[in-house]
Structure 1
Amino acid sequence: MIDSEQSVSSSSRPKVGFVSLGCPKNLVDSEVMMGLLDSAGAQMTNDASEAEILVVNTCSFIDKAKQESVDTILEMAQHKVDGKARRLIVAGCLVERYRDEIRKNIPEVDAVVGTGELEAILAAAGLSKPAPVISEPSPFTILTAAEAAAATATSIEFRAEGDLREQQGRFSRSEWDGAESSALPQYLYDHTTPRLLATGKTSAYIKIAEGCDHPCAFCVIPNLRGKFRSRRFESVVAEAESLVAQGVREIVLIGQDTTCYGEDMGLKDGLAQLLDRLAQIPDLKWLRFLYAYPNKITGKLLETIAKHDKIVKYLDVPLQHAAGPVLKSMKRGANADIFLKTVAKVREAVPGIALRTSFIVGFPGETEEDFETLCNFVRAAKFDWLGVFTYSDEEGSKAFDFGEKVPPRVIEQRRKKLMKLQQGISKKAKQNWVGRELDVLVEGESEETPLLWEGRSEFHAPEIDGTVYINDFGPFEELTPGRFYRCEITEAHDYDVVARIVSEV
């Protein structure tokens, strides 16, 4: 695991700096590795120039993410020359894909840790033995282990669908220079795993599952993360209760496909059951989940969302496209008419729900007619939030070998047109927010100007949707970040709104 003989003394509690790139699922992995290091005596620091050990947890989803990962590794490597760093560790998806190339081409890297090897971060950092607990403050929130009585068996189970897809070659990594190409990642943390929260004290992610079994032709995540596997029901509940006991008010459940939760354990409507149980935790304010596969949105799931005030009225359903031929080529299935029926079913079951989706434009073979079908669908569906990705040709994906590649110039034109279309839809929808009162989680002073503060409502997922700007503190001289306030929306813009404080919740 460790490629350098250079060691870092654990006797002086070495300082470790973390850079976490990519999605919230990757952030949870970083928090787990930080927790493991903390439990072994390391001290976390936000200042890379002061760190003796630097860890870059990488993303490898698309080309831009890979380039950002490489640039960050090289930036951190410079601290071995100009700073105090003596060890540089690279972790995450880029390691799964390019382990040998990283070792060969970036000699400053001392160790690599794949997505299924998180516990190896200790050996990589030279801290294999736990150290005595030290009372120095950490810049992060320490998530302590829940009661051991809540623990259940931790053996990994898989869905029959995943086993079948493995036989069909879905998870093949035979041509990769990645991490242990013959062995898929199987690691999955639980409620007893040490973890340091990097998201503040109010909001936290919980990863309820790992991996993915879907055959999507554009995606290599299953090759990077392995087959779908769920955490034990009681383990998720125990972690959630521990978080709330420490002051967390918003929990965000995440996974590649949270709507498959529990299928590998024989649970029917497992996500609905889990949400129903978590919604009963006292002092929890908001409960949300991200990434719902469209054909897994069951009546029971919608009924559960509608039933509990604590479950936010927000659903993120990455549809990827709306034209039947493109969806078939993507190995997703369905079409615009089916999706419109799904959207109508969701809105009927949960009135006022905010819907978010994402699309890929420029998939191989996408015609002008296909793109117009997508645009017409967006006009009809009127999503609250929408993201557009340009197709990225990923080696190892099925689509990599497809012909009829769309020229990059055309792909970018389509992206801009679709985003312009959504901008008009969003602007009109946000005008309807003016005059409404909403509970808003205030996050702090705006980076744009000290005259504004920022927050988000239940209709905003962390970091990906618009912003509630606060320009009037109402009855308060100052606000406290991390608290909930009742706000009245006074202005609306394309994606963001402006509000004044009415009261504290």
Structure 2
Amino acid sequence: MGLKPTVAFNHLGCEKNRVDTEHMLGLLVQAGYQVDANEELADYVVVNTCSFIEEAREESVRTLVELAAAQKKVVITGCLAQHFQHELLEEIPEAVALVGTGDYNRIVEVIERAEAGERVKIVSPEPTYIADETVPRYRTTASSVAYLRVAEGCDYRCAFCIIPHLRGNQRSRSIESIVAEAHQLAAEGVQELVLISQITTNYGMDLYGKPRLAELLRALGEVDVPWVRMHYAYPTGLTPEVIAAIRETPNVLPYLDLPLQHSHPEVLRAMNRPWQGQVNDDVIYRIKESLPEAVLRTTFIVGFPGETEAHFEHLLEFVDRHQFDHVGVFSFSAEEGTPAYSLPNQVPQSERDRRREALMLAQQPIAWEHNRAHIGQAVDVLIEQENPATGMAIGRSARFAPEVDGLVYVTGTAALNQIVPVTITAADTYDLFGEIATVPAPEPSLSLAH
């Protein structure tokens, strides 16, 4: 029996895509395939694509074309494959297979069929699959962090978003399944679990008939991992029960990523957001009152069709009023197949870009102020990179989520994958700087000497 072919992966897009990539890798390794990080040495390159916005599609297509030019056998998976399932195999003759977002669990069969000379296309029109803790997973992130998917898909139909079309309706995993995987990851030495789904506050709705996020957080409190972080919390789902679970579960970080998208009721209505604009202020005040130590991150879309200068001013004032820790800004991208694509009063691209820049600039002094407030304090930092040559280490405090927020640059030796106390000595807009805090040795009980 000859050696099985070597497979390399090219991963694009979000952390949900990353989990899919890690499961595909796990399944191939389990089936005896060689997995290589080097695309040049691989027989097959699996490209896990993103199709969320125009820029992401361009990057995905560019990657596919470059690999095709290098005469690689390309397997196209992920959102672009789901989105353009009829066009891609025609346009990229070098592609040997196309796999939809609900079919990545069949990757071993796909490679076997491609090896036999078949050109494979497996795309479920309505994705229903979600991997659980029994599906092998080969992690690609820093050893200290793992993304833990609690649900897949989305039941909302926001006017600008193509995700439900690409990933299907919401399907939650059971609390038992999620906790079992959390225990496995903790046993591998993971220090931080990041819970992901489209809308984490809706977790369990489809499975249990009501959201069960509060119960899930409390159950994860039993897992031996220091930090549990939650992404994509719709403000309306931050009920008193969920807030209490965050407050009372020691390893759940009071870090809330609120995908607000806008502040003005008229724009939110046009976006078909599932709640009205005026609740935004109240909800944020309520969160700050019940969880004063909360770190708030949010994202906004500027230049949505019909957004006037007055709507944009409303958003600027909103950002100034609430002083978020972290803000991400996207300029509106018209997605074919979404209601917003054909809305009247499209905002010119130059104006979308101007508004994005203006909002980012408005946030910078706020972010700097938040960072500066930590100078002189000792904060816990998870060390993720070390550079023995410079005597520097790089990590994150609990205020910074992986890949989207800032970093902490640390002077002094610290072990990788450990959480250490760091005294913050300086700050800029996005990052913090500090040195390993020296913890005084415990004094002998009878000695008065220091």
What TM-score bracket applies, with the shorter chain setting the length?
over 0.9
Report the equivalent of 2:53: 62
- 1:122–1:128 CA contact under 8 A, matched in 2: no
Q: Matches of residues 35-184 of structure 1 in structure 2 within 5 Å? A: 35-80=26-71, 85=72, 87-126=73-112, 180=123, 183-184=125-126
Report the equivalent of 1:391: 332
Give the SS at the match of 1:31. helix
TM-score by length of 2: 0.92
Report the equivalent of 2:213: 271
Aligned-residue offset at 1:120: 2.2
Deviations 1:202-238, CA, capped at 9 Å, x for gaps = 2111111000011100001000000111012211111
TM-score by length of 1: 0.83
- 2:133–2:178 CA contact under 8 A, matched in 1: yes
5+ residue gaps in structure 1?
1-9, 130-177
Deviations 1:385-416, CA, capped at 9 Å, x for gaps = 00000000000001011010001111111000
- Which residue, out of 256, 278, 297, partners 1:315? 256
Aligned-residue offset at 1:179: 7.1
Return the alpha-carbon distance in structure 2 between the equivalents of residues 128 and 179 of structure 1.
12
- One-letter identity of the residue aligned with 1:458: A
Report the equivalent of 2:442: none
Aligned-residue offset at 1:337: 4.2
Give the SS at the match of 2:260. coil
- Which residue, out of 365, 376, 400, partners 1:435? 376
- 2:383–2:419 CA contact under 8 A, matched in 1: yes
- One-letter identity of the residue aligned with 1:51: A
Q: Matches of residues 252-401 of structure 1 in structure 2 within 5 Å? A: 252-266=194-208, 268-282=210-224, 284-332=225-273, 334=275, 337-401=278-342
Report the equivalent of 1:482: 417
- 1:34–1:44 CA contact under 8 A, matched in 2: yes
- 2:144–2:384 CA contact under 8 A, matched in 1: no
Give the SS at the match of 2:425. strand
Aligned-residue offset at 1:359: 0.2
Report the equivalent of 1:406: 347
Moved over 6 A (4+): none
Return the alpha-carbon distance in structure 2 between the equivalents of residues 18 and 305 of structure 1.
36
Q: Does 1:249 align with 2:184?
A: no
Aligned-residue offset at 1:426: 0.8
Aligned-residue offset at 1:450: 4.8
Return the alpha-carbon distance in structure 1 between the equivalents of residues 113 and 196 of structure 2.
30
Aligned-residue offset at 1:308: 1.7
Return the alpha-carbon distance in structure 2 between the equivalents of residues 215 and 195 of structure 1.
31
Aligned-residue offset at 1:14: 2.6
Report the equivalent of 1:3: none
- 1:207–1:254 CA contact under 8 A, matched in 2: yes
Return the alpha-carbon distance in structure 2 between the equivalents of residues 398 and 376 of structure 1.
28
Deviates more, 1:41-50 or 1:188-197: 41-50
- Which residue, out of 9, 21, 24, partners 1:30? 21
Return the alpha-carbon distance in structure 1 between the equivalents of residues 419 and 180 of structure 2.
24
- One-letter identity of the residue aligned with 2:381: V
- 1:326–1:363 CA contact under 8 A, matched in 2: yes
Deviations 1:440-478, CA, capped at 9 Å, x for gaps = 1111147xx9564321011111100011111x21xxxx3
- One-letter identity of the residue aligned with 1:435: G
Deviations 1:53-101, CA, capped at 9 Å, x for gaps = 1110000000000001011112222442xxxx5x210100001111221
Deviates more, 1:221-230 or 1:45-54: 45-54
- One-letter identity of the residue aligned with 2:44: I
Return the alpha-carbon distance in structure 1 between the equivalents of residues 41 and 122 of structure 2.
30
- 1:97–1:224 CA contact under 8 A, matched in 2: yes
Report the equivalent of 1:158: none
Give the SS at the match of 2:3. coil
Aligned-residue offset at 1:480: 2.5
Distance 1:333 1:89, change over 3 A: closer
Report the equivalent of 1:139: none
Q: Does 1:208 align with 2:150?
A: yes
Q: Let me know the Cα RMSD of the aligned residues.
A: 1.9
Report the equivalent of 1:16: 7
Report the equivalent of 2:445: none
- One-letter identity of the residue aligned with 1:382: Q
Return the alpha-carbon distance in structure 2 between the equivalents of residues 49 and 503 of structure 1.
47
Give the SS at the match of 1:490. strand
Aligned residues: 433
Aligned-residue offset at 1:127: 7.3
Aligned-residue offset at 1:350: 1.5
Return the alpha-carbon distance in structure 2 between the equivalents of residues 117 and 487 of structure 1.
45
- 1:57–1:90 CA contact under 8 A, matched in 2: yes
- One-letter identity of the residue aligned with 2:415: T
- 1:40–1:128 CA contact under 8 A, matched in 2: no
Distance 1:104 1:479, change over 3 A: same
- 2:101–2:123 CA contact under 8 A, matched in 1: no
- One-letter identity of the residue aligned with 2:433: V
